[in-house]
């Protein structure tokens, strides 16, 4: 039964998906971490095999006493040779593991390039400030002056530097196929870099998956994000179109019911202008129509968005769109007509169309 369960675990581990598997790494960091994983697994397998063989041989060889049933066999107390062998071999094995792991740890934590500037004094490295919140992710590009949420957009073929922090409780930033995981803490920044060498096939499916890897509350398992890896040119185009949305705030007096409702009920927590500033309590919704998930994990369509707006607590228990006792959304009851208009307005926010 135990063996059967062990085999089932392999099937449950979901190792078929290219864009989420640690075993199909993309980018230099992911590949080096994969090699360390293989090294550790190799050494451990070798130890298990050798110990099992010795155990079986001893078991077979000494299972019956040669001197007869009623004689007490020779009593052996201690062996210096054996003790030296089983102390020295593990030390050697641990050194073989430790040297490359410590070297890689320091290498990926080398973020000195984050502070390099060009002749105009502008920072040259691509830096993303990641803030983990209950239960979503904010991505700010300080050198480009843009903010987005839930979908990290990165260029391929260069180092992307991350400043990681949490706004409320401890979370952990993990893109299994690319690298990590790295804790996000409330009171200190963690820094590292990743590299992306595989472009997202198309922006709806071929994206890398990101996860929260630290138990943080009832909706921890739903704290996902997506990563779109674009060619450097496509990335520059995306940055330019995000910047073009700067300052386009919804208007309470708009003739469009969705826009007016957004300005009335949502704008206190959600920005749609591509920048940080007011409305950073909830995810920035700039270009929401271009994303491929509602709330990070629901299929991206208007029906799901309407259901989410009507009762977000049903999907992500404990999320901050609900009042303190989790019984109703903090923006009160919206009419069906308002919810429909709001969903149409939010889905229409796009920089790709």
> Applying CB under 6 A, which residues contact ligand CUA?
132, 135, 171, 212, 214-216, 220, 223
Q: Determine the Cα–Cα distance for residues 342 and 320; give it in Å rounded to an integer.
A: 19
- Output the six-digit token pair for 49: 């095999």
- Report the distance separating Cα 150 and Cα 132, nearest Å: 10
Shortest distance, position 181 Cβ to ligand CUA, whole Å: 11
The Cβ of residue 332 has, within 10 Å, a number of other Cβ atoms equal to: 8
**CA dihedral sign of residues 180, 193, 197, 122:** positive
Return the number of the residue (135 or 238) whose C-beta is nearest ligand CUA: 135
**Residue 47 or 215 with smaller CB distance to ligand CUA:** 215
Q: How far is the CB of 186 from ligand CUA (least distance, A)?
A: 12
C-beta of 222 vs 351, nearer to ligand CUA: 222
Three-point CA angle 244, 125, 191, nearest 5°: 110
| Complex with ligand CUA: residue 159 or 171, whichever CB lies closer | 171
Of 164 and 223, nearer to ligand CUA (C-beta) is 223
CB of 20 to ligand CUA, least distance (A): 16
Tokens of 27: 């980018």
Least gap, CB of 133 to ligand CUA (angstroms): 8
Strands 126-133 and 136-141: antiparallel
**CB contact set of 187 (below 8 Å; sequence gap of 6+):** none
Least Å from the CB of residue 174 to ligand CUA: 10
Q: For helices 80-108 and 27-61, give the axis angle rounded to 10 degrees.
A: 170
132 or 307, CB closer to ligand CUA?
Answer: 132
Any long-range contacts for 94-103 (C-beta under 8 Å, 24+ apart)? Answer: 96/39, 96/43, 97/39, 97/40, 97/43, 100/36, 100/39, 101/36
**Nearest distance from residue 42's CB to ligand CUA, in Å?**
31
């Amino acid at each position: 039964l135990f063996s059967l369960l062990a085999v089932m675990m392999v099937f449950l581990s979901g190792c078929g998906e290219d864009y989420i598997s640690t075993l199909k790494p993309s980018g230099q960091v992911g590949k080096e971490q994969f090699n360390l994983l293989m090294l550790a697994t190799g050494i451990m397998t070798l130890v298990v095999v050798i110990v099992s063989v010795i155990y079986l041989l001893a078991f077979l060889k000494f299972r019956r006493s040669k001197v007869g049933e009623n004689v007490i066999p020779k009593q052996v107390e201690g062996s210096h040779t054996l003790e030296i062998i089983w102390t020295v071999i593990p030390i050697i094995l641990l050194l073989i593991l430790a040297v490359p792991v410590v070297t890689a740890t320091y290498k990926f934590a080398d973020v000195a390039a984050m502070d390099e500037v060009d002749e105009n004094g502008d920072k040259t490295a691509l830096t993303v400030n990641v803030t983990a919140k209950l239960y979503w992710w904010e991505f700010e590009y300080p050198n480009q002056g843009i903010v987005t949420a839930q979908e990290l957009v990165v260029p391929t073929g260069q180092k992307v530097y991350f400043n990681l922090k949490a706004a409320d409780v401890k979370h952990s930033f993990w893109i299994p196929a690319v690298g990590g995981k790295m804790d996000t803490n409330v009171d200190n920044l963690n820094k590292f870099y990743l590299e992306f060498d595989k472009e997202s096939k198309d922006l709806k499916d071929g994206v890398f998956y990101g996860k929260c890897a630290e138990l943080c509350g009832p909706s921890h398992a739903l704290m996902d994000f997506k990563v779109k890896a674009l060619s450097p040119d496509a990335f520059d185009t995306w940055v330019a179109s995000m910047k073009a949305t700067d300052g386009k705030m919804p208007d309470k007096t708009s003739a469009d019911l969705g826009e007016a409702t957004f300005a009335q009920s949502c704008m206190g927590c959600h920005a749609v202008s591509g920048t940080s500033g007011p409305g950073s309590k909830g995810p920035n919704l700039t270009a929401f129509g271009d994303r491929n998930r509602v709330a990070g994990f629901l299929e991206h369509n208007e029906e799901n968005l309407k259901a989410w707006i009507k009762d977000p607590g049903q999907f992500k228990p404990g999320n901050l769109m609900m009042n303190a006792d989790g019984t109703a959304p903090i923006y009160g009851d919206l009419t069906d007509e308002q919810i429909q208009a709001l969903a149409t307005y939010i889905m229409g926010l796009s920089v790709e169309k």
